[in-house]
């Protein structure tokens, strides 16, 4: 599951449900969110690499729904990349991220966490390849 991150992740709280086909597969808690995907608590089993319908319930924004697929899974968390999302649901994510970025909590988040390195490493701490060259 190789991936790259384009969007900044911010802490978020709420519930997440992953549905595959017509079956509820996972109920989890949201750890963080970005315009590119979410990180949730990991279930006790390995998720399939296929697509899931993801439903988030966040108090400040309400319900957010999108389709996505796992890009990594560790013992503690799962990263889900957004595959498709309705514009009004994406707007809710942008509002969450923007709201956090103008808060004092964002400054503390930068101070306490290595936010720049967070962009350039995956969940297991492996460096993500970044290049500014064009082909």
Which domains, from first to last, does the chain contain?
A: 10-120 (2.40.10.220)
Q: At a CB cut-off of 8 Å and minimum separation 6, what does 123 contact?
A: 39, 72, 74, 77, 79
Greatest CA span in the chain, whole angstroms? 44
Per run of 10 residues, the mean pLDDT along the chain (length 135 residues) is 64 92 90 92 89 92 94 91 96 89 73 56 58 61
How far the first Cα of the chain sits from its last, in Å, is 24
The residue assigned the tokens 């957010």 is 64
pLDDT at residue 1, rounded to an integer: 43
Q: Which pLDDT score, from 0 to 100, does residue 52 have?
A: 95
Residue 54 has a pLDDT of 95
Q: At what angle do helices 87-101 and 104-112 cross, to 10 degrees?
A: 80
pTM above 0.85, yes or no: no
pLDDT at 105: 75
Count Cβ atoms below 10 Å from residue 32 Cβ, excluding itself. Answer: 20
């Amino acid at each position: 599951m190789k991936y790259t991150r384009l969007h900044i992740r911010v802490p978020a709280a709420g519930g997440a449900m992953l549905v595959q086909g017509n079956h509820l597969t996972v109920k989890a808690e949201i750890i963080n969110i970005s315009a590119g995907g979410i990180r949730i608590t990991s279930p006790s089993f390995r998720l399939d690499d296929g697509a899931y319908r993801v439903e988030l319930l966040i108090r400040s924004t309400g319900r957010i729904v999108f389709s996505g697929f796992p890009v990594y899974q560790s013992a503690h968390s799962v990263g889900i990349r957004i595959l498709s999302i309705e514009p009004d649901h994406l707007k809710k994510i942008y509002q969450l991220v923007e709201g956090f970025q103008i808060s004092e909590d964002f400054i503390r988040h930068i101070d306490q966490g290595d936010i720049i390195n967070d962009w350039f490493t995956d969940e297991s701490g492996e460096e993500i390849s970044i290049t500014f060259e064009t082909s």
